[in-house]
Amino acid sequence: MTTMTQTSARFREFKMPDVGEGLTEAEILKWFVQPGDTVTDGQVVCEVETAKAAVELPIPFDGVVHELRFAEGTTVDVGEVIITVDVAPGSEDAPAPAAAAPVQEPVEAAPAEEPKGRTPVLVGYGVAESSTKRRPRKGAAPEAAAVAAAVQAELNGHGSAAPVAPVVPQAPVDAPPVGRPLAKPPVRKLAKDLGIDLAAVVPTGKDGIITREDVHAAAAPVAVAVAVAPEVAEPVAVSVPETPATVGSARETRIPVKGVRKAIAQAMVGSAFTAPHVTEFVTVDVTRTMKLVAELKEDKEMAGVRVNPLLVIAKALLVAIKRNPEVNAAWDETNQEIVQKHYVNLGIAAATPRGLIVPNIKDAHDKTLPQLAAALGELVATARDGKTSPAAMAGGTVTITNVGVFGVDTGTPILNPGESAILAVGAIKLQPWVHKGKVKPRQVTTLALSFDHRLVDGELGSKVLADVAAILEQPKRLITWA
């Protein structure tokens, strides 16, 4: 699980594990320990956020924390050492404990030599160690910080009385040796596609790594990046004709794309440009469903669970799938097969502080109404607390997204990757409606069903949506059709 350092056999390293499904990196959200703290096998030492969820990491041995390699907020590749532990405290050959990494600039110790190949970590296996040595990033000269501050003041409308004289940047004291520029493979490919020589690109990433933004900045003929001190945010290339080079703007904020937001972006782009989407709509009178919800809230069998319209809508969709099982399928591009699912893992789109996630209720088709209500309540509570596991978001077959909670009438939802259909539920509103030949105020909502047209023809999609609407209009069909 871990490897010994070369410095002393008493120090053990704990690496960033692959916490689920081949993820390559994770952001350290919070450290629960500091250098000098005693830890025990299985104790949670930090919380990390992957592209799918926030996960707590337990350490697999006893000892005293010697060093934290990265600060909170740092994104770390799987397989990198994040903490070292003194497993035999009190020995004389112990070096002085290292202080915790600073908030703005993480300190990374020199990596220890390890056997070639993949080394096992906490969950899954880490990647093979790279022979490339990362170079420490040096702070900008004080003069550069002064220039940046003056420029930012000018942007904010607080310009100085006298212009700031240009300052010639000084070479760093410990300039890194000239060699192959540090950049990840996607960045190298981007540079190659744009015809940019990486050796001529100024790196702004952690430890001197060239980022995509650096390559784009180098490709812009007019843009000029200004170096700033470590206390200032990452430099932004700004193109302003016939004006001095500037950095950033009080009118814009740049937010790094990572974690859940990065996963959402990749999943939505992949889904939108892989599965041909079709969306159909229906407006339905749900007055009887709302009466049923009110009655269920008073039912002793439903005591202790949350009863709301979403519960009945979920049950209606499950019945519609049972009546039209072909809709519950997946497209296997590799084998050119349609995979029919004889189970329903019902996804529920949930908005959380970290972004949109879609956990699912396993084998929802087998659950009674009280069991489904309990599962929904647990799913929502776990998502709200940020404790949804990657396993809880894997293996979904069909999803419901309730945009009505935001007062929205309906939408055209994008499929969760690997799924065949997604049902959007709009706001339930009191509207004039023809009921028994007379116009009366009724509770009405609009449903939208998006489906993968490779799997689902228009007739099948229409039947599923019509069945859901019919059940919500006459909830007794939950019994007659089930």
- With a CB cutoff of 8 Å and minimum separation 6, the contacts of 141 are 167, 169, 170
Q: Tell me the C-alpha distance between 210 and 238, whole Å.
A: 18
Q: Based on the residue annotation, tell me whether 277 is a catalytic residue of this protein.
A: no
The alpha helices in 35-160, defined as continuous H runs, are 142-155
Q: Indicate the SS3 state at residue 425.
A: strand
Contact 30, 72 (CB under 8 A): yes
Q: How far is C-alpha 336 from the chain's CA centre? A: 30
Q: Which residue has the tokens 């419901």?
A: 400
Alpha helices in 278-368 (DSSP H): 287-297, 309-323
Pairing of strands 337-340, 329-332: antiparallel
Per the CB < 8 A criterion, the answer to whether 11 and 66 are in contact is yes
- The one catalytic residue in 66, 216, 435, 453 is 453
Residues in a beta bridge with 339 = 330
55 phi and psi angles, rounded to 5 deg: -135, 140
Q: How far apart are CA 288 and CA 469, in angstroms?
A: 12
Catalytically annotated residues: 453
